[in-house]
Amino acid sequence: MTIIVKDKHTLLYKGFRFKCCVGKNNFSKRKIEGDKKTPIGTFKIGNLFYRADRFKKPLTKLKTYRINKNMGWCDDINHKKYNKLIKITKKKINHEKLFRRDYKYDFFIPIKYNFNKVVPNKGSAIFIHLTKNYQTTSGCIALSKKDFLILIKLIDKNTKIKILR
């Protein structure tokens, strides 16, 4: 089955309709790093990451990983690990910090956009993550925690996401 992002406020899956939010500058077929646009297309999804210091392991068929303090997602267009999970070291590599003070990455799933044959500057760190106020994102898709927890009970490793516009 496929998760459908119908528009900037609606995510559909198996008869469920969830309110969501997307990139501040809407959608793009030609995403570039930092443009605050959500990529259009059909993509595989990754594993579920969660904050075990805040929540118990959620019910899901997805493989799960605990987020720890030295985890990041490389958004450095000049680094060989661009758009990959990295261990944060003292070396200066631009990255998205995954262990955050806020709640947004308490649970998240990477969307496998620009993932296998990575193209530098085409966009990185595109996730399904949490929101409380449905404010726009930097290119990700965000759901309320309640809806996110429902969705992860329904999906599995073969689920794809189709972002229409």
Closest CA to 55 of 45, 47, 66, 63: 66
Q: What is the pLDDT of residues 83-104, one digit of tens each?
A: 999 999 877 889 999 999 999 9
| pTM summary value | 0.96
Q: What is the pLDDT of residues 7-39, one digit of tens each?
A: 999 999 999 999 999 999 999 999 999 999 999
Tell me the mean pLDDT in the region 72-79: 95
User: Which tokens sit at 107?
Assistant: 């649970």
In angstroms, the CA 12 to CA 17 distance is 5
| DSSP 8-class letter at 84 | S
In angstroms, the CA 54 to CA 45 distance is 23
User: Which tokens sit at 143?
Assistant: 């759901």
Q: What is the pLDDT of residues 36-68, one digit of tens each?
A: 999 999 999 999 999 999 999 999 999 999 999
Domains of the chain: 2-163 (2.40.440.10)
The strand pair at 85-87 and 71-74 is best described as antiparallel
Residues 99 and 85: beta-carbon distance below 8 Å = no
Tell me the mean pLDDT in the region 65-90: 94
